[in-house]
Structure 1
Amino acid sequence: MNVLVYGLGRSGGAVARLLRRQGHAVWTFDAQHPQGEDLAALGCRATSAPLEVPAELCIAAPGVPWDAPDLAALRARGVETIGEVEWVYRTVDAPILGITGTAGKTTVTRWLSHTLTLAGLDAPAGGNVDPALAAVAAPGRVLVTELSSFQLERCPSLHPRVAVVLNLGRDHLDRHGSLAAYHAAKKRLIAHLTPEDTFVYNHDDPLVRAWAEASPARTWGFSAAPTPGSAAHLADGMLTLHGRPLVAVRALQLTGQHHRLNALAVALAAAAWGLGDEAIRAGLESFSGVPGRYSVVGEVAGVRFVEDSIATRTLAVQAALAATPAPVVWLLGGQDKGASFAELEALVRDRVVLALCFGEAGPAFAAQLSAWTETHVIPDRDGEAALRRATALAAERLRGSGGTVLLAPLAASFDQFGNYQARAEAFRRAVTALHTPKEALWTGFSSSRS
């Protein structure tokens, strides 16, 4: 088959390699990144004119908007256009356990993969989490797959054996156009479930619960408290699974209410795949978390520095603020994805003594927060410089009183960094550099408090 791979990021490169292993003729196109020598050596042919390729199928990377003119033109010409995950589902004999949600899906994906692997299964994590799914897909494996809305919107026939929906909030409105369209993309995960499949869902989220009530699959809900209809819940300091005490909250290495709910989702998904209580308990207790997800990176003169660069959505930031005792200096900003602040007001008023806002969204974010706390806009266009300045100012503000400097950006990183990991590393370097003299740090940026 002649296949055009449109977009050569992590996903596009991985699926191009898979296609060549499968014996297909592959053309690649990326307007910003040239094809690497490794793909050329495999026989992939780079093109600068994707509409001229004699493609029978186009696999579009998730970073390419679904309504991009070239993709629309290909579809109009009758070229089926799908995503990497859909291709893996169609062509690799390996069951998919799919995880999605507005917040928490990376942690749950890694935690579930860890739990299944510890129990002796060949169950790598892939998808929206590194590595790409096509890089780990092989017959006989159990593919624990994190799925973003961008990936799901290009999966017309995906049928996971276990589907997990953690929550539904507000995200990616810049790409999807509306909250309804974003939720519709997420719903594709459960579109083809049958009575032989299991749908693990957040029983406390009304919309997700409505999806479960309408699903033909076996539905297992998790809840923060004993709730009629839930299959797993928290009660008296214990995680309870199908009415049985499973593990004490204090035995988990991850803290915070959001991680307890994540653990319940992992427990249900692992049970759906056949693991017993002892194996599930071992996996839950031994997981130490995802690097970069709400991790303490240092402490200087009684001030803690917490990095949560992956917290780009309101639900994730809400969880981070809830887990951080006052006083907090909050570092946020970047490329706005349609962030909502309404759900954060009480936490900001209660805990945040200063919000330092950087990047493209900095001024707008500061304006929204100024009624609730003191805000400052960091003017530096260079991301490294912006985080270094913000970190130093935050440390100075908390000096003598203690507290926490929290990087939870509520925005994408692409205005100043290549990805959220690069932003996280810049913050870590900024913490290390706190011995740098701070003269003139306050020069050239605005502050406000109404």
Structure 2
Amino acid sequence: MIISEIQKHQTVVILGYGKEGKATEEFIKRVHPTAKIIIADQSCDPEYLQAQFKGDLVIKTPGIPANLLQVPFTTATNIYFSNCRAKKIAITGSKGKSTTSALITHVLNSTGHSCKLLGNIGTPMISAVFELDAIHVIELSSYQLAEFTGTPDIAVITNLFPEHMNYHGSLDSYYEAKKQLIARMSENQFFVFNPDVPKLVEWSTQTRATAVPYLPTLPCAIEETHLIGEHNHHNMRGAYTVAKLFEISDTQIAEALKTFIPLPHRLQNLGVHAGITWIDDAISTTPESTIAGLEAVKETIGKVDTIFLGGLDRGYDFSNLAPALKAAGITTIIFFPDSGEKIEHILKDQGFTVQHALHTTSMQEAVAFAHEHTHVGGTALLSCASPSYSVWKNFEEKGDAFQSEVQRLT
């Protein structure tokens, strides 16, 4: 919806008043100062959805599924894409989108370009509609893409595997939301994708955008960077491929990759405390990402002795996680609800009984148990294979709690 259309409406209802909802309110005040604005949020009123019937324009925030609305609506994402004329690089994927977005921003900023990081990882997009002096690098979730009608100049999709089934209802619907990023692109735009993902290779033949697979190698060794793991090798390949579209030299890109500092809670090495190496991978909220984290730590730091698992049960298939834990030789597991009990049952069904196990909702108790049962010189990994919401507000809160308790050991 373009601004002139917004200005035709007298009463604007904003459903959801988190970070994006607040930014949307400021945008409406700027472009339509005479409009009446109604704010509706679940935290203030359990019947907040009734507000949808009180205005002639409804703007829905991403966390509210569309099937809960009975009236036409738009989103801050679509308003941004309809009105912002800056060059846009949009990134999505089941995992790796935050790191890839940050890598692209860092590489471009380090090589003479001006970039602004927006979306899930940065400033709400709608706050930057009129900021045209920089390239906009935008991380987009499947929630934001479910009703997406925009077109970026460059789209990047990192990977695909099952996630957010509770929101989208099915795997097909989840994948279809992701695919919306490239659905309306044209020949003069670029779709950068990981060719190791068969579904993305298939999609590359179904979009009008110019398909650009990740370049197979990097201009530097991963050991020369601060990132670890095969999944981060893929993330850097994505950023490298995008940088080459800007005709940046390999030498410049390599130097930028070497200076990139990893984002918090993503295989973040907290160092040695009480004789144990502690790794914060709170971002890993699916079995696939936890398996990747285990492999990355094994390759770069050494064997993982203790792992923290479990969280909100979204019905994930943990059958591949069990053999990975068994093969890794894990001796201690701390289980968080709700999926922790389910994971433990799967482990036992596959013949793996861990030596030391604890079920808890307390991070203090969890870290103390890990400290007690992890030998000096060993490694403890927070990588829960499930969303954090059963105990914590989000993965950041969980990771912060973990780091705080680890720091207390010294």
TM-score (norm: length of structure 2): 0.89
Partner of 2:371: 395
Partner of 2:4: none
- Check 1:338–1:160 CA distance in 2 against 1; reply closer, same or farther (3 A cut): farther
Partner of 2:317: 340
Partner of 1:383: none
> For each residue in 1:1-30, what CA deviation from the matched residue of structure 2 results, as whole angstroms up to 9, or x when unmatched?
333211011121122212222225232211
Query: Of the candidates 189, 213, 216, which is equivalent to residue 233 of structure 1?
Result: 216
**2:199 counterpart of 1:221:** no
Is the 8 Å Cα contact of residues 102 and 315 (structure 1) preserved in structure 2? no
Deviation at 1:130, TM superposition (A): 3.3
Is the 8 Å Cα contact of residues 172 and 338 (structure 1) preserved in structure 2? no
Partners in 1 of 2:246 and 2:315 — Cα distance?
36
> For each residue in 1:360-392, what CA deviation from the matched residue of structure 2 results, as whole angstroms up to 9, or x when unmatched?
322223222333341734233xxxxx1111111
Partner of 1:32: 43
Of stretches 166-175 and 16-25 in structure 1, the one that deviates more from structure 2 is 16-25
- Check 1:131–1:365 CA distance in 2 against 1; reply closer, same or farther (3 A cut): farther
Query: Of the candidates 221, 227, 233, which is equivalent to residue 248 of structure 1?
Result: 221
Is the 8 Å Cα contact of residues 354 and 373 (structure 1) preserved in structure 2? no
Deviation at 1:291, TM superposition (A): 1.6
Partners in 2 of 1:52 and 1:198 — Cα distance?
40
Partner of 1:243: none
**2:283 counterpart of 1:310:** yes
> For each residue in 1:139-179, what CA deviation from the matched residue of structure 2 results, as whole angstroms up to 9, or x when unmatched?
23311111111010021x21011111111111011111211
Query: Of the candidates 370, 382, 385, which is equivalent to residue 410 of structure 1?
Result: 385
Is the 8 Å Cα contact of residues 103 and 313 (structure 1) preserved in structure 2? no
Partner of 1:242: none
Is the 8 Å Cα contact of residues 362 and 377 (structure 1) preserved in structure 2? no
**2:237 counterpart of 1:260:** no
Structure 2 gap segments, 5+ residues each: 1-6
SS at match of 1:233: coil
Partners in 2 of 1:307 and 1:17 — Cα distance?
36
- Check 1:92–1:387 CA distance in 2 against 1; reply closer, same or farther (3 A cut): same
Is the 8 Å Cα contact of residues 164 and 314 (structure 2) preserved in structure 1? yes
> For each residue in 1:293-344, what CA deviation from the matched residue of structure 2 results, as whole angstroms up to 9, or x when unmatched?
1101232343111111111123321221111222331102221233222332
Deviation at 1:48, TM superposition (A): 8.1
Of stretches 90-99 and 160-169 in structure 1, the one that deviates more from structure 2 is 90-99
Partners in 2 of 1:369 and 1:254 — Cα distance?
30
Q: Which amino acid aligns with 1:387?
A: M
> For each residue in 1:206-265, what CA deviation from the matched residue of structure 2 results, as whole angstroms up to 9, or x when unmatched?
11111112222221112xxxxxxxxx113xxxx2xxxxxx22333222121111111110
Is the 8 Å Cα contact of residues 319 and 346 (structure 2) preserved in structure 1? no
Partner of 2:337: 359
- Check 1:52–1:216 CA distance in 2 against 1; reply closer, same or farther (3 A cut): closer
Using the aligned pairs only, state the percent identity.
27
- Check 1:368–1:33 CA distance in 2 against 1; reply closer, same or farther (3 A cut): farther
- Check 1:302–1:377 CA distance in 2 against 1; reply closer, same or farther (3 A cut): closer
Partner of 1:113: 105
SS at match of 2:306: strand
Please list, as runs of the form range in 1=range in 2, the aligned pairs for 1:98-247 lying within 5 A after superposition: 98-137=90-129, 138-155=131-148, 157-222=149-214, 232-234=215-217, 239=218, 246-247=219-220
- Check 1:116–1:178 CA distance in 2 against 1; reply closer, same or farther (3 A cut): same
Deviation at 1:274, TM superposition (A): 4.1
Deviation at 1:284, TM superposition (A): 1.5
Large movers: runs of 4+ above 4 Å? none
SS at match of 2:270: strand
Partners in 1 of 2:379 and 2:127 — Cα distance?
38
Of stretches 120-129 and 272-281 in structure 1, the one that deviates more from structure 2 is 272-281
Partners in 2 of 1:5 and 1:49 — Cα distance?
12
Partners in 2 of 1:345 and 1:331 — Cα distance?
14
Larger relative strand fraction: 1
Q: Which amino acid aligns with 2:272?
A: E
> For each residue in 1:78-129, what CA deviation from the matched residue of structure 2 results, as whole angstroms up to 9, or x when unmatched?
x2x2322211111122222111111111100111111112223231111111
Deviation at 1:190, TM superposition (A): 0.7
- Check 1:59–1:273 CA distance in 2 against 1; reply closer, same or farther (3 A cut): farther
Is the 8 Å Cα contact of residues 306 and 407 (structure 1) preserved in structure 2? yes
**2:67 counterpart of 1:67:** yes
Is the 8 Å Cα contact of residues 288 and 385 (structure 2) preserved in structure 1? no
Is the 8 Å Cα contact of residues 13 and 52 (structure 2) preserved in structure 1? no
Deviation at 1:350, TM superposition (A): 1.4
- Check 1:310–1:249 CA distance in 2 against 1; reply closer, same or farther (3 A cut): closer
Partner of 2:24: 15
Partners in 2 of 1:263 and 1:122 — Cα distance?
19
Partners in 1 of 2:246 and 2:317 — Cα distance?
36
Q: Which amino acid aligns with 2:144?
A: Q
Partners in 1 of 2:76 and 2:346 — Cα distance?
38
